[in-house]
Amino acid sequence: MRRQRKAKILATLGPSSSSPEMIRSLFEAGADVFRLNFSHGSHADHQRNVKIIRDLEKATDRPIGILMDLQGPKLRVGKMKDGAATLVAGRPFRIDLDDAPGDSTRAPLPHPEVFAALEVGTDLLLDDGKLRLRVTECGKDFAETVVETGGSLSDRKGVNVPGVILPISPLTEKDRKDLRFGLDLGVDYVGLSFVQRPEDVAEARRLIAGRAAIMSKIEKPAAVEALSELVELSDAIMVARGDLGVEMPPEEVPSRQKQIIQTCRLAGKPVVVATQMLDSMVHAPAPTRAEASDVATAVYDGADAVMLSAESAAGDYPLEAVGMMGRIIERTEADPSYKKVIHALTPEPEATAPDAISVAAAQVANTISAAAIVSYTTSGSTAKRAARERPDVPILVLTENIHTARRLAVTWGAHCVHTSDVHNFQEMVEKACRIAVHEEFAVTGNKLVITAGVPFGTPGATNVLRIAWVG
């Protein structure tokens, strides 16, 4: 099951992809991590999918990551008379806490925390940005606005307040129930929605208590402004371009994407690029050329992984979408200019033994044309350091911790094998060579660069580099 690429693929499960046969096919086609979207589906649905994935993991002897994506707060208008009303540009429009059905002059907005954060001049976006209002007067339970971009407003359409930090926790009561359920199932990552500030990640960290890693979703301008702190506090980052593209001008999203990827790369944190990557494949067997270029751009930028949402969850061609994404990644990474681009941003190593070893491993592997870098790790930090260097050779990760192996499924270039730890140097070399051959990374006569920590099994203690010949 060795992948012929370094960047990873996340595939969302849903109505189109929840049978054991389809999940196995998606994995064999290239999915490295499966996303469970808790905005949809029942707990029973998600529990069944987790069991299918874990049974597949045992059958294939390959660690598979599972991301539970929390819904987060959803701001929505209330009901409208006759189901919808037309807002006319230039006309006044009121929003308030009154739950009476709305019309062309007003609408209910049952979120007092929104009114608490509004100011004169604030923009309100309705229905994914299709309608735009500008606040002209506001109080604790109402806002008078003028319609800047009109159109039809129907029941329960979403509301975005760009440029404003709302006094809302990213975890609703539904999220907290979902989180407890997902942690009991043993998910590997928690996708944290509606992140606005570092305190949001800290709150989730307290609740999760180390039972899963946190993948913070960057989908609000406030999160971009606090990016460095959020990256530091999170275990991984997702560039959630759908909501981000609603709350900021679309022309800003590409440069922000690059900024987020670079920040994560420098910090050695995995970063996933998501939303509408192969969107036309929801209903078509092939993507547009622009979509193929979009995936390739994320790979050139150095993203650890790219994600399929509706394409694999509810589309007509989930298997073809995963296969296409894999082929785009492989072709991009085979481009002679890829190495130049990917190495243009080379992080400065920290003044620590693990960083020094990781940098040296990449250089030595390139110099001696090694078949692979073999990284022994307990916590996963050694493998992430190796991946941060974006070495030209594969990274074979050996760990006795199955949770570490699953979490590293999202990390660039990391091929994880769950195996018992070693106790001496001879065993370290013998096991590395044996597994490298078994996993089809090396043949007799190849060289391997091996990194580990002594004493063996000590988290974060990488201090050994060995060159081994496969006998």
102: amino acid identity, one letter: G
Count other Cβ atoms within 10 Å, centred on residue 186: 14
Residue with tokens 């994506």: 69
Beta strand segments in 312-425, E: 372-376, 395-399, 414-418
Distance CA 364, CA 352 (A): 18
Give yes or no: 180 in active site: no
Catalytic residue among 145, 263, 275, 462: 275
Q: What angle do CA 196, 349, 376 make, to 5 degrees?
A: 95
- Taking alpha carbons only, the member of 239, 327, 254, 334 closest to residue 286 is 327
DSSP code per residue over 165-188: --S--S--HHHHHHHHHHHHHT-S
- To the nearest 10°, the Cα dihedral for 153, 158, 162, 168? 140
Catalytic residue among 35, 106, 220, 258: 35
Catalytic residue among 217, 220, 385, 406: 217
269: amino acid identity, one letter: K
What are the φ/ψ torsions at residue 22 (nearest 5 degrees)? -70, -40
Residue 106 tokens, joined? 């007003």
Residue 37 tokens, joined? 């979207």
Give yes or no: 406 in active site: no
Catalytic residue among 3, 48, 74, 76: 76
Report whether 10 contacts 272 (CB < 8 A): yes
- To the nearest 10°, the Cα dihedral for 385, 388, 393, 396? 40
Give yes or no: 35 in active site: yes
Pairing of strands 65-69, 236-240: unpaired
Give yes or no: 206 in active site: no
Catalytic site residues?
Answer: 35, 76, 217, 275
